[in-house]
Amino acid sequence: MPNGKLSERWRKVPSCSRRICNSSHFPAEGNQPMPKLAANLHYMFDEVPFLDRFAMAAHAGFKAVEFQVPYDWPVEALVERLQNHSLKMVLCDTKPGDWNGGERGIAALPGRERGIAALPGREQEFRRDLETTVTYCRAMGCDCVHAIAGVIKPGENRQAAEDVFVENLRYAAQRLGEHGITAVIEPINGGRDLIRGGEAYTTYGMAGFFLNHVRDALRIIERVNNPNLRLHLDFYHLQLTDGNLAETLRQTIDVIKHIQIAGVPGRNEPDVGEIHYPYLFDLMDKLSYEGWVGCEYKPLRSTQEGLGWAKQYGIRTSS
């Protein structure tokens, strides 16, 4: 849990970061039902091609969307759909590296496949890729970026990886902050991997992922020492790695920028499985959480059929 110094520093930071230069094209965040739900378009509405999912999300009543990897599409195509359907883009990741080759981000990777000492690090690659992320976020009006750590191999030096991660995060927090964009890090369970036969970039977890636990994320945030680096808390991953969801939310609320949800164990609708989300939603409200809640889950059947759980939060279930 955060120490007093960390908690006190983040109380001074608004939950919603500064508007960026062209965000006037996108809907305001205020006066939304609690929780403010965002559809993850890699996972949801996969009954249709990706660029058609914006319309389906808007029709269902979502005011915001998120997706990890926007870089497969021209930014102009994404901006057009966001504007046409009055959707706010609330989260994306930094570039993941060679996804098909097993990489899941490069922020904590000190070297390539032959190990840490064999080659120079990838810090410059991370910085170059970050400029692409800035370009996409400024165009889309997205003010939150997950600096995804990456996978390290068994036996690699974890301290060296953390040191590289910290330096990359210092750079990212500063660079993104220049454009009113918040950097976040997300603990992800390292015991599972891709959803076989699923949509691109959909996973049950990331085998070998560097950052697995909230306690480690908080330590890294403290080392970076920049209030523009915040916590991205995914309750699905937290339940698989640590549990203790409500108390973790209470203890980290001042550091959290973004939350994601899914049922456990199957990463399906939030009302399927062992987590009682209505309690957590009420707790978010009591704690005055003002950020978005990303619906990063794989529907059991069609997306629309599974939206009954969200009806009380302003989402429509009819097709």
Q: For the segment 210-248, what is each residue's pLDDT rounded down to a tens digit?
A: 999 999 999 999 999 999 999 999 999 999 999 999 999
Report the distance separating Cα 126 and Cα 96, nearest Å.
Answer: 10
| H, E, C per residue of 123-150 | HHHHHHHHHHHHHHHHHHCCCEEECCCC
DSSP-derived secondary structure letter, 48: S
Read off φ and ψ for residue 256, nearest 5 degrees: -75, 135
- Sign of the CA dihedral with 286 first, then 289, 294, and 297 last: negative
State the pLDDT at residue 99. 45
Report the distance separating Cα 296 and Cα 64, nearest Å.
Answer: 13
186 flagged as catalytic = yes
Give the residue among 233, 198, 193, 196 at the shortest CA–CA distance from 209: 193
Label the pairing between strands 64-66 and 36-40.
parallel
- Sign of the CA dihedral with 307 first, then 309, 311, and 313 last: negative
Q: Please write the tens of the pLDDT for every residue from 24-62.
A: 333 444 455 689 999 999 999 999 999 999 999 999 999
Quote the pTM value. 0.86
State the pLDDT at residue 318. 67
Whether 113 shows a pLDDT value over 90: the answer reads no
| CB burial string 98-135: b at 16+ within 10 A, e below | ebeebbbbbbbbbbbeeebeeeebbbeebeebbeebbe
305 flagged as catalytic = no
Q: What is the average pLDDT score of the chain?
A: 85
Report the distance separating Cα 142 and Cα 134, nearest Å.
Answer: 9
Torsion angle (degrees, nearest 10) of CA 78, 94, 200, 296: -80
Identify which has the larger pLDDT, 226 or 160.
Answer: 226
Q: Which domains occur in the chain, in start order?
A: 4-313 (3.20.20.150)
**Catalytic, out of 103, 162, 186, 269:** 186
**pLDDT band at residue 68 using 50, 70 and 90 as cut-offs:** very high
State the pLDDT at residue 290. 95
Q: What is the mean pLDDT of residues 148-168?
A: 88
